[in-house]
Amino acid sequence: MNPKYSNLFEPFTFPSGVTIDNRIVMAPMTTNSAFENGMITTDEHNYYKRRATGIGVVITSCAQVMENGKFAGSFSAASDNRIESLSKLAKTIQHTGSKAILQIFHAGRMGTSTTLRGEQPVSASAIPALRETAEVPRALSDEQVHDLVKAFGQATRRAIQAGFDGVELHGANTYLIQQFFSPHSNRREDHWGGTLEKRMNFPLAVVEAAKEAIQTYADKPFILGYRISPEEMEEPGITLEDTFQLLTKLKDQNLDYIHVSVGSMMQQSTREKALGKPVIQLIQEKIGLEVPIIGVGLIQTPSDAVEALELGIPLVAIGRELIVEPDWIKKVKEGKEQAIRVEIDPQNRTDLMIPDEMWEYISSKPGWIPIAKK
C-alpha cells in the first residue's frame, strides 16, 4: 500500500464504544429492489456481500418506519415480521467484519399514492414538493406526529433485535424528518412548526425516541447517527444558518456521528457563496470537535478520500464509486489504485452484482454514474 493512504486504514472508535477497522464508510444508496412488502431480496444480499469486504461501516439503503412512508423497492422496518429479513441482511454485511448500520426513514411527501396503493402521502403540511409529478400531501395531525416519533423508536428496536450495529436517522434528501425542519414543507403553527425552534422539535423527538430504544433494548454498544442536508434550493428553504442551529442542538444528543449529505465533498454553499470554504469544512469547524462528522460526495480515488480527511473530518463515505468498483478497498490496500475502475462496463454487470431495478435507475439517469460506451 502507498504510505500516503495509510491514514485511511487507521481504526476509529465511535463515542458509543464501537470500533471500526478503517475510516471508509459505504454510503447509503437505494437499490430499489426490495419486494413490495419490504422484504430484502437475494439480489440485494448479493449486492451488499460483493461490496462489504474491508469496509469499516456499511450504511444500508433506507428502511421505512411506517408503510405509508415507503417508496417502490425500499426496505421495511415497520413491523416485527420484518426483523428476520433485516437480520439476514445484517449478517450478510457483517460476514467479513464490517459493521452494519440500518438507515431508517419516512418518505413523507416524496411518496406517491401509486406506491401507497391509493393512499395520499403525508407530510408536516399540505405543501407539495417542487417537482412536476409531486402530489399534495395530507398534513399530519398532532397525534399522528407522535405516532411517527414512536415508529422511529420501534424501528430502532427492530434494528437492534435484527443484529445491526447501529441505525442512521435519515434527516436528509428531502424526506420526512427534513420536511419537518424545512420552512418550505412545514407551515404548521403548533408544537411542530411556526418558528425555527419549533421546526427542530420533530427531528429532536425522533433522536430521543431512538436513544430510548437503544437504552432499553441494546445489550452492547450501538451506533446512532443522523444524516442531514445542510441547504435547500426551495424558497423559503433551509439555510446554512438554520442547519448550524440544528447542529448545535444535535451535538448535545450523544450521537455517534452526523453524516453530511452533499453532492460533492468540496461543495461550497449554494446560498452563501462568499463563505469560501466547503460546507463540510464549515460544519467540521462548528461542531466536529464534539461529534464525529462523516463526509460524502464524489469520492473516487484514494487521493480524494485523503483530501477529505485533511479537512479534519474523521470518516469518509463512498457511494457511487463502490457501485462501480466493489474492490476499491482491496485495490488500495494492495497498492493497485491505478486499477480502480471509475466507470461501469455493462459487460461486467454480473460481477458487479447490480440488481436489475438498480441498473434500470442508473441507466435512466445519464451522468449519475459513468457508463463506458460500447
Residues annotated catalytic, as ranges: 175
Distance CA 218, CA 34 (A): 27
Distance CA 227, CA 175 (A): 11
Distance CA 31, CA 36 (A): 13
- C-alpha cell, 200: 427542530
Contact indicator for 41, 368 with CB cutoff of 8 Å:
no
What torsion do the CA atoms of 285, 315, 357, 267 make, to the nearest 10 degrees? 30
- For residue 374, the one-letter residue type is K
Distance CA 13, CA 6 (A): 17
Instruction: At 24, give phi and psi (nearest 5°).
Output: -100, 130
- C-alpha cell, 11: 481504526
DSSP assigned state of 348: G
User: Measured between alpha carbons, how far is residue 110 from residues 35, 64, 179 in Å?
Assistant: 19, 12, 10
Helix (H, G, I), strand (E, B) or coil at 234: coil
List CB contacts of 213: < 8 A, sequence separation 6 or more: 153, 154, 156, 157, 160
Q: Count how many residues are written for the chain.
A: 374
